[in-house]
Amino acid sequence: MSTLQTEHVYKVFGRRPDDAVRALESGTGRDELRADGTTAAVIDASFDVKPGQIFVVMGLSGSGKSTLLRMLNGLLEPTSGRILFGGQDLTALSAREMRRVRSTKISMVFQHFALFPHRNVLENAGYGLAVQGVPRAERDRRAAEALALCGLEGWENSWPDELSGGMQQRVGLARALATDADLLLMDESFSALDPLIRRDMQDQLLELQKRFKKTIVFITHDLNEAMRIGDAVAVMRDGRIVQQGTAEDILTRPADDYVAAFVQDVDRSRVLTADAVMTSPARSDADGCDCPTVTADTPLADLCAVSARVPHAVDVTGTDGAVVGSVAQDRLVAFIGDEQRAPVRCTEVAA
């Protein structure tokens, strides 16, 4: 299992890109360069993604997400900076070596499924293995296993156009899992799906990730999706990562006005958990009562439902059942509401 690291990565399109990087390093603005016909698509991107982590890159159109992803899978060469995966410097590899790394260690899941219409579901799921030269029998076995994990057992002999959009994307996910690649790059993978199916896919990814602990970079422009699935989230603006941290960090401590405006509409009751709002030590006013409690990872929406039924602050318990903190109802309401909106009543959220 390998860590992905990027160190001061730049990508500049246009004439004299190296000069442009030096100019950016010494403080020249992106707009100044653009006046000269040069686009700084990614500027000084540094981050680490550990095995088992989902690192979400989020930003508006044109902020540099796809360019960053294309550098991670070796389709674009950085103008400057290094990309390391499992300690291996991908930016130092020859095109041939990079192709090998791409076919064995990296899997992509695209927005538009990218299934072959004239191959059945099993063949589509086994495509990455075919590229690796894995013999037919083993390929089919591993592809069938991956399909089953993605909830598509029994669909092996169907054609892609017989499947719904959500099912087609499951085939895409199965294809990525079948290869055993450690690094999964997901480019707006769920963006074309209906909201409910999209949520299902997010849940499925989180479930699979618990088991496989891949190193995942997930690109999205959807803030709620980022907050829901990201262990770490990077917000990009005009080529730069303007903030990276947990969803809670970004929601509760936005780095600047841009991030604050960006996160204004997120449904905090589903993103934040008891951990973010509890105070410790635990309250002292109800020793020994039998009221329901929550754990640190309980979403605020569920915490509100409990809070509405409890006449005092809700206790938060650790894995051993001991009380580690508590959440008073007024604190909960203060967190879920904000200056821009009327405070939400816990009972409304619970409903």
299 belongs to the binding site for ligand ATP (CB under 6 A): no
Closest CA to 267 of 235, 301, 241: 301
Name which of 60 and 334 has its Cβ closer to ligand ATP: 60
Name which of 64 and 166 has its Cβ closer to ligand ATP: 64
Name which of 26 and 61 has its Cβ closer to ligand ATP: 61
Strand partners, 294: 316
- The footprint of ligand ATP on this chain (CB under 6 A) covers a number of residues equal to 12
Rounded least distance, CB 34 to ligand ATP, Å: 8
Residue list 81-140, contact with ligand ATP (CB under 6 A): none
d(CA 181, CA 196): 28
Query: Binding segment for ligand ATP among 56-64, 262-270, 274-282, 316-324 (CB under 6 A)?
Result: 56-64
Q: What does the chain come to in residues?
A: 351
CA distance readout (Å), 239 to 12, 13, 71, 230, 331: 10, 12, 13, 20, 37
Residue list 35-54, contact with ligand ATP (CB under 6 A): 39, 41
225 contacts 70 by C-beta, under 8 angstroms: no
Closest CA to 250 of 265, 236, 239, 260: 260
Rounded least distance, CB 57 to ligand ATP, Å: 9
Query: Binding segment for ligand ATP among 22-30, 60-68, 87-95, 253-261 (CB under 6 A)?
Result: 60-68
Name which of 67 and 169 has its Cβ closer to ligand ATP: 67
63 belongs to the binding site for ligand ATP (CB under 6 A): yes
Answer for which of 64, 74, 166, 325 binds ligand ATP (CB under 6 A) is 64
Answer for which of 3, 66, 91, 158 binds ligand ATP (CB under 6 A) is 66
319 belongs to the binding site for ligand ATP (CB under 6 A): no
Answer for which of 5, 6, 53, 67 binds ligand ATP (CB under 6 A) is 67
Answer for which of 38, 55, 65, 335 binds ligand ATP (CB under 6 A) is 65
Strand partners, 273: 299
Buried b (16+ CB within 10 A) or exposed e, 120-154: bbbbbbbbbbeeeebeeeebbebbbebbebbebee
Answer for which of 4, 20, 58, 59 binds ligand ATP (CB under 6 A) is 59
Residue 214 CA, chain-centre distance (Å), reads 12
SS (H, E, C) 285-337: CCCCCCCCCEECCCEHHHHHHHHCCCCCCEEEECCCCCEEEEECHHHHHHHHC
Rounded least distance, CB 121 to ligand ATP, Å: 28
Enumerate residues 6+ apart whose C-beta is below 8 A from 91: 77, 78, 81, 82, 83
Rounded least distance, CB 239 to ligand ATP, Å: 7
30 belongs to the binding site for ligand ATP (CB under 6 A): no
Query: Binding segment for ligand ATP among 18-26, 61-69, 78-86, 202-210 (CB under 6 A)?
Result: 61-69
Both tokens of 278, joined, read 């509890």
Q: Is 13 helix (H, G, I), strand (E, B) or coil?
A: strand
Residue list 184-243, contact with ligand ATP (CB under 6 A): 221
CA 202-261-185 angle, 5° bins: 30
Would you tell me which residues interact with ligand ATP (CB under 6 A)? Answer: 13, 39, 41, 59, 61-67, 221
